[in-house]
Amino acid sequence: MTLTHEQRHRYTRQLEIIGEEGQRRLGEARVLITGLGGLGSIIAGYLAVSGIGYLRIVDVEQVEATDLNRQIFYLSDDIGRDKPESLAKRLVGLNPFCRVDAHMERIDEKTIHHLVNDVHIIVDTLDNFTSRHVLNRAAVTRRLPLVHGAVRGLYGHALTVIPGRSACLKCIFPERPPHGTFPILGPTCGVIASVQASEVIKYATGIGALLLDRLFAWNGRLSDAEIIDVERNPECSVCGYIPPEVA
């Protein structure tokens, strides 16, 4: 992939950081974003404008009025419309160089195989751990990096999983927390979404250090963040079979 003059001009400010080779890598990257709510929609926006070449975006919900306090790429006119279709139009408008593949589907054992097919990076912004664990198993099985994030109220966390090199979600969250509607403030989504988008860009371009075995934990009530070390479980039912020499 050769950058055009228009692309060089568009990405001028970040070319100073990642260089033309990094920008080419972004253009060749294929990213799956699962869940298009407060995290996923923002991440998709940041990745589209950064120059990611292909985004596969997946959700099973329609836009509701209660989404609009944090899901900033949807408008009042979008209420009642499918999230993937509505977001895809915004993303292409943000950057016509980004190809967007929208899927109105639920993440489960049946759909996961074709959704992860031919992508390079998986982004987890789902709102329940049943689906997250489906995604985690697929990432480990296919040796695909998984960028995980979650938010609740004024709190959130993020980390990156590289199968064979770091702890997977099952290692860190062996039990599924109860599922239900929870409070959330828009800026909390912004913080965690920014961290996740940065992880995708760093992985694709090879710059910086990833959040491997390190959980970024955000406390918005105190405006404080910390890094919590986590460990891979050698007896993990999902990733424990990977030989140590591969790690």
Q: Please give the pLDDT value at position 179.
A: 67
pLDDT in tens, the chain (247 residues): 789 999 999 999 999 999 999 999 999 999 999 999 999 999 999 999 999 999 999 999 999 999 999 999 999 999 999 999 999 999 999 999 999 999 999 999 999 999 999 999 999 999 998 999 999 999 999 999 999 999 999 999 999 999 999 999 999 999 877 666 778 999 999 999 999 999 999 999 999 999 999 999 999 999 999 999 999 999 999 999 886 544 4
Helices 12-28 and 186-205 cross at an angle (nearest 10°) of 70
Read off the pLDDT of residues 46-98 as tens digits, 9 standing for 90 and up.
999 999 999 999 999 999 999 999 999 999 999 999 999 999 999 999 999 99
Cα distance between residue 32 and residue 37, in whole Å: 14
Domains of the chain by start residue, with CATH: 5-246 (3.40.50.720)
- Cβ contact 55:100 at 8 Å: yes
Cα angle value 11/12/17 (rounded, 5°): 90
3-class secondary structure, 64: coil
Cα distance between residue 172 and residue 105, in whole Å: 27
Q: Comparing C-alpha atoms, which of 42, 43, 39, 19 is closest to residue 31? A: 43
**Sequence-distant contacts of 138-143: CB under 8 A, at least 24 apart:** 138/112, 138/113, 139/163, 139/168, 140/168, 140/238, 140/239, 140/242, 142/116
Q: Which pTM does this prediction carry?
A: 0.95
Cα distance between residue 68 and residue 65, in whole Å: 6
Cα distance between residue 239 and residue 139, in whole Å: 10
